[in-house]
Amino acid sequence: MQGFVPALLRKFTRVGAGFRYVFFDCPPSFTVLSYSILTNCDLILVPVNPDVFADRGLRILLEGLELQLQPHPFPKVAVFMNRARLYRGGFTRETRHYWELVGGICRKWLEKGIPIRPLQTFLPERADIRKSIPRGGRVPEDLRQMLRGLWKEIREFLGG
């Protein structure tokens, strides 16, 4: 299973698919498949929600990655706020508090030499999205713009 992801990526290359990016959605646990993915990726994208698990979960994830990925190099890690609660155009006090805690974790790991970046783009909590998409609805334009901004930050962090 450890060679699965490299073999899959080679197949994409051989068939001439020409993919520049391949996304794998992994659960926050370490399995043989996730190990194969994580040892062959350039970036780990970590969404955090504004709750008590934001900084704790990120710290546990990073500590686990550090243990599991040795001797492989640590990939870049980009962290963004998902389901951000907003008030009058900015984060609520609670959301800002949790994002500051996440920023502190990122700074500590950056000092250890881990390439980690908290992204400025966030995705807001939106009940209309949860209701709309399963019913065949479209993503509202303002959310599309936020997703484009998130993608732009990710590409810049990857260096391309």
The architecture in CATH of the region 42-125+137-158 reads: 3-Layer(aba) Sandwich (3.40)
Coil, helix or strand at residue 102: helix
Instruction: Determine the Cα–Cα distance for residues 2 and 31; give it in Å rounded to an integer.
Output: 10
Is-cis flag, bond preceding 71, omega within 30?
yes
Quick: pLDDT tens for 65-108.
Answer: 888 888 888 899 999 999 999 998 889 999 999 999 999 999 99
Return the structure tokens found at 113. Answer: 């030499």
What pLDDT is recorded for position 16? 58
pLDDT band at 17 (very low <50, low <70, confident <90, very high): low
70, 81, 33, 18: CA torsion to nearest 10:
-100
Quick: pLDDT tens for 124-139.
Answer: 887 666 666 666 667 7
Domains of the chain by residue range: 42-125+137-158
Instruction: Determine the Cα–Cα distance for residues 60 and 135; give it in Å rounded to an integer.
Output: 36
